[in-house]
Every structure is written in C-alpha cells, then in structure tokens.
Structure 1
Amino acid sequence: MTTTSPPPGDARAWFLAARERQQAQLSRVLDIGHWAGQISHLVHLLQRERGASNIWLCSGGELFARERVQSARETQQATAGFQAGLPSPPAALSGAFCSRLACALWALDQLPELRQRLSRGEVAAQEAMSCFNCAIRHLLSLVPEASEALESREVVQGLTALYSFMQGKELVGQERALGAIGFTGGSFTAELRQQLVDRIDGQQRCFAAFLALADPVTVARFHQRGEACLETEQLRRIACTRLPEKGTATLRWFELQTRRIDALRELEESLIGQLMALAAAALASVREAESQDEPAFARWVASHASDDMAQPPNRHLLPLVRQQARELETLSRQLASLQTTLEERKVIDKAKALLIRHQGMSEEQAWQQLRKLAMDQNRRMVEIARAMLTLSGLWPDD
C-alpha cells in the first residue's frame, strides 16, 4: 500500500494516512508473531540441548548421552527450518531488527563446531552454556523490535507481556543448567550459588512484569502450572545453603525444572496466539471502515481525544522491555566472567597441588607461597601458577 502525502488542512486525508500506517504496522506484527512462534520453538530446543549437555559434561559422559545427541539433532533440524523460512531482507523491517537477526544467525552458525568440540571433551560446561546462552539471547532480542513504532495499546501490551514471559522462561532454563552443574558435581561454589540466585531473582522480575500485563485467565494458568513447585524450592535451598550429595539430586532437579519449562512452553504458545489474534482483530477493524465513512472518522477522533491516549503506549512499555534485555545480557556477561574465574581457579589449584606434592607444604602454605610470588613479581596469581605448571616437567620425581 502506497501512502500519499495528505493535502495540508484536510482532516479526512490525514485520517486515511493514519489508517494506512496502522495497517502496515499491524501487518508487520502478524509477520513478527509468526516468527515469534518459530523463535520460541527454536529457543525451547536450545534450552533443552543446553541442559542435557551440561549434565553430560558434568557427569563425565555417564548421564544423558542419548538425550544430548537427540536434542542436538532436533535443534539442528529446527535451526535449518528457521533459516530456510526467512525471507529476503524486507525494507519494511528496521535496521535494528536486521542487525539483531544477523547476530542470531551468526550465533546459530557457531553451534555445529561447539557440538564437535563438546563430543571430543574440549569444552567445559560453563563455556558450552555460555555459547548456548549467546544464541538464545540474540534470538529473544528479535521480539521487542516489533514494538518500536506500534500505536495499538492492546498489541503493544500483548507483545510486552510475551517478551517478559520469554525472558523469564529463559532464566528458568539457565537456572536448570546451573543447578545441573552443581548437583552433578556435588558442590556449589560461591560464584555458582550467586549465579543461581541471580537467575531466580531475574525470572521473578520478568514474570511479575508479565503478570501485570496478562489477562486473568492467563494469570491463573501461570499460577497453576508455571510456578516453581515445593520440591524445586527445597532443592534450591540445598543448592544455596549446603553441599548436596554428589549426583543424588541431579536427575530429580532436571526432571522438575524440565516439567516446569515444558508447561511454560505451552503457555508461551498461547501468548503468541493471543498476540496474533489481537493484531489480526485490530487490522480487521482498521480495514473495515470505508474511506469516506463519516461515523468511522468521528469514532477515530473521539478515541484520540482523551489525555490518556495522547501518550504513545510504547513510551511506557518499551523501557521495561529494554531493561529486561539489558538484565539478561548482564547475566550472560557475568556467566562468562564466572567461566574465566573457574578456569583460573583450576590452574591455581594445580599449582598448589604441585607445591604440596614436591615441597611438602600444606594447602595454606602453598596458597601463601603463590600469593607471595605474585606480589613480589607484581603479577597475577594465575600467571605465576601457569608459569609453575609450564616448568613442572623439570621438577624431580618423587
């Protein structure tokens, strides 16, 4: 549809121009709604593969070997379908949307190599999780871009509720993966516990935003099936307060969290359907009125007369969406930092073990020795530890 410039001073011409703009926006939402369905399906499979991969890695390949391979195969098939279904870059989409889609496609392209390295045992659980998180984060970031210029209050509200919900579901998935690391290994470090708490707090904020915008029926469904159950809360307390017995709670934790995520997935599909129905109804309403229909013009003027309608709805809701996106990105960066910290700790622990074995030091003495060398040479302790391990071949055998 081509929009011509309205003649100056012609109210009805401006009315027609506004309607044409609304039709274009709502048609775009229907396209985004279709993509949101594909995105949510692909994200769900990525979340499943991430969890299975974590358990497989942390158990040394003893658990979830078949589940990991099957989930990877399903994700690869869904990725191929998602990529094949994308149209040529249309001019109607914003530059920001196209940029985010490019990032998402790039992240998906990295996963086949990750899977190969993972199968060869070259990837730690935290690194694998970080790679899956990156792909999921870029895919989810596509959803709020659709609301950038929307003027339909109901559609913007539905889109914001959907995005808040999808963010919350992803944080539940990250909680499942982090818990799998700790329960499989039989311990939660202080950093891992903090990461777990951050995910729990983050999902609660996202779901609170979703519940504030959702209809009563959807709210009731969420409270019935989407909340963490009592047993999950008990396992959370174990993870955050004391050492679990190695491996005993892994499968139960994963089962409970998977059951919750699957229930959230059903609700997510319902939200996408509701959003598309809202957009379709709004589009039909816009198209229904005849261009010269005076009552339609009068109703349109009346609907825009109140002070409440004077402010575009996305001015109030988009900051919330963007804040949630920033929080998820921050948590992902924190996870990458945690991965680096854990790897450095392993190097330091190996150097301490070397001093204990060859110098007869206690663990505390070995730590103090590494610390003193680092201070004397003005270098980081991990650098001293790496240098010591490099020269370990020159140390005399016991």
Structure 2
Amino acid sequence: MMNRADTAPGAIEWFRYARQVQKEQLQQLAQQGRLVSQLSHLVHMLQCERGASNIWLCSEGRLYEPERRASAALVDEQARGFMQMLNPDAMSAAPGLCQRIASAVWSLEQLPDLRRALSAHSVDASTATSRYSRVIRHLLNIIPQLNDAIDNPALAGRLVALYSFMQGKELVGQERALGALGFTQGSFSDDLRQQLVDRIDGQQPCFDGFLTLTSATLKTLFCEHGLAGLEIEQLRRIACTRQPAPDAGEAALRWFGLQTHRLEQLRSLEEALISELMAEVVLLLRDDDAQALQAATLDDPASDNLLFTLDRQLLPLVRQQARELEQLTGQLASLKEMLEERKVIDKAKSVLMAHQNMNEEQAWHCLRRMAMDKNQRMIEVARALLTVSALWQGAAKT
C-alpha cells in the first residue's frame, strides 16, 4: 500500500510553500515600494512645473521663466527613471494595475504638447493647471491598486496612509496654483474662489486619514511643519472673502513662496512615509527567514505543546489584525470609489466638451451648476448625462 506522503505534500512542504509565497509577495512589494518612491518624486516635480508655469502664464512671461524650464527638465529626468522601472515581467502586475499604469504613461506622453502650447501662449493658465493636474491624478491613481495583494494590516495601513497623504499634498499644490492665478490677475472670480475653497476643504479629510494610520513621530512632524501657517491663512481669507489690493504681483509671489515652502515640508514627510513603508517590508522579510527556521520544529513530536501555546498567544492577534485589515479595506474601497466617481465625471465633462464646445474648466463648472440646481451630487448628474448621451447616440445610429 502506497504511503500518502509519497503522493501528496505533507505539512512541512505546505508550510515551506506558504513561506515561499509570502516571501515572493514581500519581494514584489519591495519592488513596488521603489516604484512608489520614484512616482512620488515625479509627482512632486510635476507640481513644481505646474506652479511655475501658472505664474509664468499669469504674468505674461515676466516671472518664473528659469524656474519653469528647470522644473520641466527635472520632470523629464524623473519620468525617464519612472518609465525604466515599469517592467511588466518583473512587477507581475495585475490587470487593474496595468491599466492604471497605461493611463499614467499616456498622460505623460501628452506633456510635450502642453509645453508647446504654453510656449506659444495658446493655452490659458486655468486650462494648463487642469491639464497638469490630470497628469498627476493618473499617476496617483496607481497607488491604491498596489494594495490589492497585501494581506498584512501594517503594510496595508502604511500604504493607505501614504496615498491619503499624497492626495492631500496634491490638493495643496492645486491650492497654490489657483491662488497664484487670482493674486497675479489681481482678482478672484466667484468660480475661481469656489475652486480654491473646494481645494482647501478637501485637504482635511485626506490628512485626517493619514493621521489615523501613521506613526506618532510623523503625526508630530505633520502638526509642527505640515499645516498651513498664519501667513497662508491670512492670504486665504483675502482670496476667499474679498479682492486683493493692487500690489504689482507682490501678494502672488508671497503666496507662491509660502505654499512652495509648505509643499517642500510635506515632501519631506512624504519621503519619511515611504521610508517607513520600505523598512516595514525589510523587517517582514527578516521575520519570514526567522519563521522559516522555526518551522523545523514542526517535525518534532514535542512541538505539539509549543504549537498549542503559540495558537493561544497568536489567535487574539490574528483576530485583531483581521479586524484592522477589514477596516483598511473599507477605507481603501472608499478611496477607490472616489477615483471611479472622478472617472465618470471626467467622461461627462468630455461629452460636454465635445457637444457644447466647452473647455475642461467650463464643462466642470457646468456640471457643478447642474448639481447645485438639482440639489444632487455631481456624480449623479454626470451619470444621468452619460445615460442621456448613450441613448442619444443609440437613437442617432438607428
């Protein structure tokens, strides 16, 4: 009679296989962590280029010409490094991640056209800001997709914290660009003022999510260096409540300088977040090796008592981790839902741009006005518009 061990792997083999799979996942995450680090550098330089280009356009080419060219060169350098890391075979990327990467690469390929339009003064500051923001949005959309294969609450929490933080930082960058536009022009329209308010209000939920999940050290650093200071708050009040006094652009440069300093502080915190994530991966890889050595006790008859003791010690921890992972999964699902809603709104904007001869900013304001008139969320209006558009196209074909 054939022994069962001759035909099927035993407990030791399964334990070793589980360790091997876990180690491969951690090594994969380490590779993705390096990708996130490169992506964050690229996003930061794009935020710099967007800000410098905004000031340059608003001042009709008088200000920030050297900064605009320098930041564009740095974006190209970071983009080359980012592209070199996109090896599908090495990353073993899931379809969803591949699609996000494809969208990000496509948006980067549009940068030369945008820069030519800038140099020719054939694009206004508001449209240029929107186009830069779209590139950044596609890049940031990659990060939540990396979390799908993570079953460790500590790692999942750090990645969600990082994504929330980067979203908040991007809203700070957009606030800088919109405020610079109004202060350089010497006036804030109602629409521009509302956009500015939306960016300011949107920062808090993002940073709250980050603060909930990050370490005590980074919480302290954020409270000390990441919040808007008194001078920024004073300029915010001017921008959001009244028109700035004529000052030959001094308020615009002061606003831009203060917000740039804040973004640099946030960038330092962002690097610390990424370092903590990578350190956690390295620690888990070391623990994995130690556990593999401990697995040798499984073939010892005396190990049953040890396993029973470990079960009693680990079961509460496993349950706690399961609850934490469930909460993190819910938070990530909310973030992904926000991204999907943005995609629907972008499609609705494209319909308005194609059929109503609007630019992107006008289409966004049109959707927003319809939502306010109907007392509905913008996503509901966007979905209704896409449904009507689909019906109209179907009727046109018949």
TM-score, length-normalised on structure 2?
0.77
| Equivalent in the alignment of 1:282 | 284
> How far 1:227 moved relative to its partner?
0.6
Quote the Cα distance in structure 1 between the aligned partners of 2:57 and 2:121.
8
Q: Which amino acid aligns with 1:321?
A: L
1:76 maps to 2:76 = yes
Identity of aligned residues (%): 43
Deviations 1:129-152 (A, max 9, x none): 121111111111112222112121
1:317 maps to 2:328 = yes
1:111 maps to 2:111 = yes
Aligned pair in 2 of structure 1 residues 310, 240: CA closer, same or farther (>3 Å)? closer
| Equivalent in the alignment of 1:236 | 236
Deviations 1:220-267 (A, max 9, x none): 111111110011011111111000124231000000000000011011
Deviations 1:49-74 (A, max 9, x none): 00111111111112112211111111
Quote the Cα distance in structure 2 between the aligned partners of 1:113 and 1:47.
18
Report SS of the residue matched to 1:305.
helix
Quote the Cα distance in structure 2 between the aligned partners of 1:110 and 1:157.
33
1:212 maps to 2:212 = yes
Is the 1:160–1:318 contact (alpha carbons within 8 Å) kept by the matching residues of 2? no
Aligned pairs (5 A) from 1:107-186 = 107-186=107-186
> How far 1:279 moved relative to its partner?
0.9
| Equivalent in the alignment of 2:270 | 268
Aligned pair in 2 of structure 1 residues 26, 249: CA closer, same or farther (>3 Å)? same
Q: Name which one, 1 or 2, has greater alpha-carbon Rg.
A: 1
Q: Which amino acid aligns with 2:326?
A: R
Deviations 1:179-204 (A, max 9, x none): 11111111111111111111111111
Aligned pair in 2 of structure 1 residues 206, 161: CA closer, same or farther (>3 Å)? same
> How far 1:26 moved relative to its partner?
1.4
> How far 1:29 moved relative to its partner?
1.4
Q: Among 257, 260, 264, which residue is 2:259 paired with?
A: 257
Is the 1:167–1:328 contact (alpha carbons within 8 Å) kept by the matching residues of 2? no
Aligned pair in 2 of structure 1 residues 342, 62: CA closer, same or farther (>3 Å)? farther
> How far 1:110 moved relative to its partner?
0.4
Aligned pairs (5 A) from 1:290-301 = 290=293, 291-294=295-298, 301=311
Quote the Cα distance in structure 1 between the aligned partners of 2:38 and 2:243.
40
Is the 1:183–1:244 contact (alpha carbons within 8 Å) kept by the matching residues of 2? yes
> How far 1:310 moved relative to its partner?
6.9
1:225 maps to 2:235 = no
1:193 maps to 2:196 = no
Report SS of the residue matched to 1:293.
helix
Aligned pair in 2 of structure 1 residues 88, 297: CA closer, same or farther (>3 Å)? farther
Report SS of the residue matched to 2:315.
coil
Is the 1:163–1:321 contact (alpha carbons within 8 Å) kept by the matching residues of 2? no
Deviates more, 1:203-212 or 1:20-29: 20-29
Point out the structure with the larger helix share: 2
Aligned pair in 2 of structure 1 residues 89, 130: CA closer, same or farther (>3 Å)? farther
Q: Which amino acid aligns with 2:245?
A: E
Residue segments in structure 1 that go unaligned for 5+ positions in a row: 1-6, 346-398
Q: Which amino acid aligns with 1:121?
A: H
Report SS of the residue matched to 1:271.
helix
Is the 2:32–2:91 contact (alpha carbons within 8 Å) kept by the matching residues of 1? no
Report SS of the residue matched to 1:143.
helix
Is the 2:130–2:361 contact (alpha carbons within 8 Å) kept by the matching residues of 1? no
Quote the Cα distance in structure 1 between the aligned partners of 2:56 and 2:102.
30
TM-score, length-normalised on structure 1?
0.77
Is the 1:137–1:328 contact (alpha carbons within 8 Å) kept by the matching residues of 2? no
Q: Which amino acid aligns with 1:83?
A: M
Is the 1:126–1:339 contact (alpha carbons within 8 Å) kept by the matching residues of 2? no
Aligned pair in 2 of structure 1 residues 179, 205: CA closer, same or farther (>3 Å)? same
Is the 1:15–1:297 contact (alpha carbons within 8 Å) kept by the matching residues of 2? no
Report SS of the residue matched to 2:142.
coil
Aligned pair in 2 of structure 1 residues 331, 201: CA closer, same or farther (>3 Å)? farther
Aligned pair in 2 of structure 1 residues 302, 143: CA closer, same or farther (>3 Å)? farther
| Equivalent in the alignment of 1:359 | none
Aligned pair in 2 of structure 1 residues 30, 72: CA closer, same or farther (>3 Å)? same
Report SS of the residue matched to 1:62.
coil
Quote the Cα distance in structure 1 between the aligned partners of 2:341 and 2:179.
19
Is the 2:97–2:145 contact (alpha carbons within 8 Å) kept by the matching residues of 1? yes
Residue segments in structure 2 that go unaligned for 5+ positions in a row: 1-6, 353-357, 366-398
Quote the Cα distance in structure 1 between the aligned partners of 2:313 and 2:155.
16
Aligned pair in 2 of structure 1 residues 85, 310: CA closer, same or farther (>3 Å)? closer
Quote the Cα distance in structure 2 between the aligned partners of 1:27 and 1:128.
39
Aligned pair in 2 of structure 1 residues 111, 327: CA closer, same or farther (>3 Å)? same
Is the 2:186–2:245 contact (alpha carbons within 8 Å) kept by the matching residues of 1? yes
Is the 1:148–1:314 contact (alpha carbons within 8 Å) kept by the matching residues of 2? no
> How far 1:328 moved relative to its partner?
6.4
Q: Which amino acid aligns with 1:48?
A: C
Q: Which amino acid aligns with 1:316?
A: Q
1:305 maps to 2:315 = yes
Is the 1:58–1:181 contact (alpha carbons within 8 Å) kept by the matching residues of 2? yes
Is the 1:150–1:314 contact (alpha carbons within 8 Å) kept by the matching residues of 2? no
Quote the Cα distance in structure 2 between the aligned partners of 1:339 and 1:245.
30
> How far 1:219 moved relative to its partner?
0.6
Aligned pair in 2 of structure 1 residues 321, 299: CA closer, same or farther (>3 Å)? farther
Is the 2:153–2:321 contact (alpha carbons within 8 Å) kept by the matching residues of 1? no
Quote the Cα distance in structure 2 between the aligned partners of 1:266 and 1:195.
27
